[in-house]
Amino acid sequence: MEARPTPASDLVPAQALPAQALPAQALPESALPEPRPRRTGYRRLPVQQRREQLIAVALELFASRPPEEVSLDDVAEAAGASRPLVYRYFAGGKQQLYEAALRTAAEELTSRFAVPLAGTPSEQLSAVLDGYFAFVAEHDAGYSALLRGGSVVETARTSAIVDDVRRAALQRTLRHLGVREAGPRLTLLVRSWIAVVEGASLSWLDEGRALPVAELRDWLVDQFTAMAAATALHDPQTARVLAGVLALEGPGAPRAARLREVLEPGQVLEPGQVLEPGQVVEPGQVVEPRQAVEPGQVLGPR
């Protein structure tokens, strides 16, 4: 039986056929269909682990951008999750997620207030400030937005979280100074110094971290010492605390020596020191016979 010729109408030019109808070797590479990207499914995580992951991702985003510039979609994308999934864990939306991230950051910052056991008081304070500035550097934009206020996500709850960190800093500093119950002037001193640290941190960030952090740290330690010396002139409790700190620094400590130079022509006397009759403390100053000196008392020329 003879084969029937194929009618001309049944013949289709090769270029008119769909690409998949031709052998691959017959097609130029540019004509091959591009493979469709495979959609990756969400990786299932235990509830607590997923919640911690979302907070960690949000914290990283809030640290690099002001909170109002971060959306839930940004968080979902960075976490490899869906927007509904984020809402499942944080029904209050972005505000609830921000507060959770802020609380986590506050706990981390508070943990860096731990005072090392070794070293002089100034060395211990320097170590705490090193940890503080490491945190500031890691959370640049978020730290600035948080302390400056005025953010659209700022609420009474977020302010309370920040106040808790300041309160912890106050308590840790007083404990570091060996103070159980601080009077109003000593409390004012420490609170004021904490405000100086915060202001210096913001200025450091604004100026592009131009000042080496070690120099800024040492300046803040000296700031505390100078502020304590000024407060000691008006408050016996602060005077006693300062005298104790200087004693722990040691007579040859550079910072203690500089402080004594700054306090000239006054003289910081050791607790319980008794002056001999007619002893000249400073040029032109003569004290009364057997005058007892209170701990930390600063004497100046008459």
Residue 39 CA: distances (Å) to CA of 32, 34, 43, 54, 198: 21, 15, 12, 21, 46
Q: Is the pLDDT of residue 210 over 90?
A: yes
**Distance from C-alpha of 108 to C-alpha of 138, rounded to nearest angstrom:** 12
**Distance from C-alpha of 242 to C-alpha of 238, rounded to nearest angstrom:** 6
Predicted pLDDT at 22: 40
Q: In whole angstroms, how large is the CA radius of gyration of the chain?
A: 34
Predicted pLDDT at 172: 92
pLDDT in tens, 80-135: 999 999 999 999 999 999 999 888 888 888 988 888 888 899 999 999 999 999 99
Query: How does the average pLDDT of the chain come out, rounded?
Result: 77
Predicted pLDDT at 63: 80
The alpha-helical segments, DSSP class H, found in 9-93 are: 47-64, 72-79, 83-89
Contacts of 159 (CB under 8 A, 6+ apart): 149
Predicted pLDDT at 148: 65
Q: Which of 137, 187, 144 is nearest to 162 (CA)?
A: 144
Instruction: Please report where in the chains the tokens 């049944």 appear, as a residue.
Output: 10
Extract the tokens encoding 269. Answer: 């006397």
pLDDT band at 141 (very low <50, low <70, confident <90, very high): confident
Predicted pLDDT at 144: 76
Predicted pLDDT at 38: 40
Predicted pLDDT at 18: 44
CA end-to-end span of the chain, whole Å? 138
Contacts of 127 (CB under 8 A, 6+ apart): 115, 116, 119
**Distance from C-alpha of 298 to C-alpha of 267, rounded to nearest angstrom:** 6
Predicted pLDDT at 188: 97
Q: Is the pLDDT of residue 201 over 90?
A: yes
Q: Which of 299, 298, 300, 302 is nearest to 232 (CA)?
A: 298
**Distance from C-alpha of 131 to C-alpha of 120, rounded to nearest angstrom:** 17
**Distance from C-alpha of 251 to C-alpha of 178, rounded to nearest angstrom:** 20
**Distance from C-alpha of 267 to C-alpha of 282, rounded to nearest angstrom:** 8
**Distance from C-alpha of 205 to C-alpha of 95, rounded to nearest angstrom:** 25
Predicted pLDDT at 153: 64
**Distance from C-alpha of 141 to C-alpha of 70, rounded to nearest angstrom:** 12
pLDDT in tens, 252-279: 777 667 666 655 444 545 555 555 554 5
**Distance from C-alpha of 200 to C-alpha of 179, rounded to nearest angstrom:** 26
Least confident of 42-56, 75-89, 169-183, 273-287: 273-287
